[in-house]
Amino acid sequence: MKYLKKTFLFSFANALLAISSWAQIGGNNVYEFLNFPSSARLAALGDHLISIKDADVSLAFANPALLNIKMHQQLSFNHSFLLDGIQHGYAGYGHHLSKADISLHLGFQYVSYGNFTSADEFGNILGEFRATENAFVLGAGKTLNDRLSLGANAKFISSQLESYNSIGISGDLGVFYEDTLRNLGLSLLFKNVGTQLSTYAETKESLPYEAQLGLSKRLKYLPFQFSVLYRYLNRWNILYDDPNNQENTFFISGFEDTPQSNVQLTNFFRHFVFNGEFFLGKAENLRLRFGYNVLRGQELKVANLRSLAGFSFGVGLKVNRFRLDYGQGVFHLAGSMNYFSLSTNFQSFKSFL
């Protein structure tokens, strides 16, 4: 039975890597679900957005430095349908303390990997078991002046994979700089800094720590905002070295090795996520979004076949007191992932009540 459990954990870890943006460079970390996008908007923008400050409280999960007074009493519910029946969601609430001039954020993240059949080494069915992971999030952000903001998230994590359990803590620390005259935002984020408090087995594993740098710019004469994010400031080489992969040169025979300059250039671009958002209508109630996650696109592409792996799309619509968002992330030829969000603000119901 121990052998089957170890086999399950090994297979489960590989399946998790296949649906996460860490792709092939993962495998040594626990709690990879912390990298799942917290909203349909983030999913439509390539899973990452850390340099735009507005009323979207789900952005506080991505970067606590984005917390601001516009998120006061903002409530957001998000749910995503991942591959093979895996479901993930996030709920967040924002509150501004006027006396302390601090914005707070409370959130809950969950992921369910579904039901599994338990069997012994002879194939006898013993029953069923589930695999789930959760994280409670408490964040705080403060605007220091007209341009600079700081923020931090604290996360309490619980994970149950069959009879294996683990709990841990992690945190995010973000800095946001805003130039309102140029409609420019710049952020530095240290993400998932933490440790396991209890382990699945005897070995303590690391969390998916990552440092990010993001820039956003809204154009002056066009209702369009774009963002560029650089991932893994803490790690240069994020290429997967596959010993079974042989690259051939089509133009010059006899030179099968990829030039080192091309390798470094490929590695450099895999750090980037590009996205954009169109604002339509006088009140900007309709928003169209797209993104491209270079790392995901490169590592989940299929050789000799064209696909949209790495691309993402979405739309947002405000109807009365509610904002509805949909996002789709293309991971592979095998399928895409769908994300839905519903958000509102308690203050908008005061006149109604």
Question: Does residue 146 form part of some domain?
Answer: yes
The sign one gets for the Cα dihedral 45, 46, 49, 55 is positive
Q: How many domains does the chain have?
A: 1
Nearest to 68 by CA among 135, 137, 146: 146
Q: Both ends of the chain: CA-CA distance in Å?
A: 59
User: In the block, which residue shows the tokens 């009323």?
Assistant: 55
The whole domain housing 94 covers: 2-238+265-349
Euclidean distance between CA atoms 160 and 203, whole angstroms: 16
Q: How many CB atoms lie within 10 A of CB 303?
A: 5
Euclidean distance between CA atoms 327 and 46, whole angstroms: 10
Question: Does residue 245 form part of some domain?
Answer: no
Question: Does residue 334 form part of some domain?
Answer: yes
Euclidean distance between CA atoms 250 and 267, whole angstroms: 21
Residue 58 has, within 13 A of its CA and on its CB side, a CA count of: 26
pLDDT of residue 351: 61
pLDDT band at 333 (very low <50, low <70, confident <90, very high): confident
Euclidean distance between CA atoms 287 and 270, whole angstroms: 27
186 neighbors 212 (Cβ within 8 angstroms): no
pLDDT of residue 104: 98
The two tokens of residue 118 are 């338990």
Q: How many CB atoms lie within 10 A of CB 90?
A: 25
Nearest to 59 by CA among 211, 169, 174, 195: 174
Q: How many CB atoms lie within 10 A of CB 271?
A: 18
Q: Which one-letter DSSP state was computed for residue 29? A: B
Alpha helices in 2-129 (DSSP H): 2-19, 40-44, 59-62
> Per-residue DSSP letters for 58-90?
THHHH-GGG--GGGTTEEEEEEEE-GGG-EEEE
Q: How many CB atoms lie within 10 A of CB 145?
A: 6
Nearest to 143 by CA among 173, 181, 96, 101: 101
pTM: 0.85
Would you say residue 172 has pLDDT above 60? Answer: yes
Total residues found in the chain within this entry: 353
Q: What is the CATH number for 318?
A: 2.40.160.40
The two tokens of residue 344 are 């509102």
Q: For 136-161, what is each residue's pLDDT tens digit?
A: 999 999 999 999 999 999 999 999 99
pLDDT band at 349 (very low <50, low <70, confident <90, very high): confident
Q: Out of 9-23, 101-115, 298-312, 324-338, which region has the weakest mean confidence (pLDDT)?
A: 9-23
Question: Does residue 246 form part of some domain?
Answer: no
Question: Does residue 243 form part of some domain?
Answer: no
Euclidean distance between CA atoms 270 and 132, whole angstroms: 30
Would you say residue 235 has pLDDT above 60? Answer: yes
41 neighbors 75 (Cβ within 8 angstroms): no
Question: Does residue 31 form part of some domain?
Answer: yes
State phi, psi for 15 to the nearest 5 degrees.
-65, -40
Question: Does residue 258 form part of some domain?
Answer: no
Who has greater pLDDT, 41 or 252?
41
The sign one gets for the Cα dihedral 335, 270, 65, 157 is positive
pLDDT of residue 15: 38
Question: Does residue 186 form part of some domain?
Answer: yes
Q: Which one-letter DSSP state was computed for residue 259? A: P
Q: Out of 12-16, 75-79, 333-337, which region has the weakest mean confidence (pLDDT)?
A: 12-16
Measure Cα distances from 266 to 105, 177, 259 in Å: 38, 29, 11
Q: What three-state secondary structure class fits 25?
A: helix
pLDDT of residue 289: 98
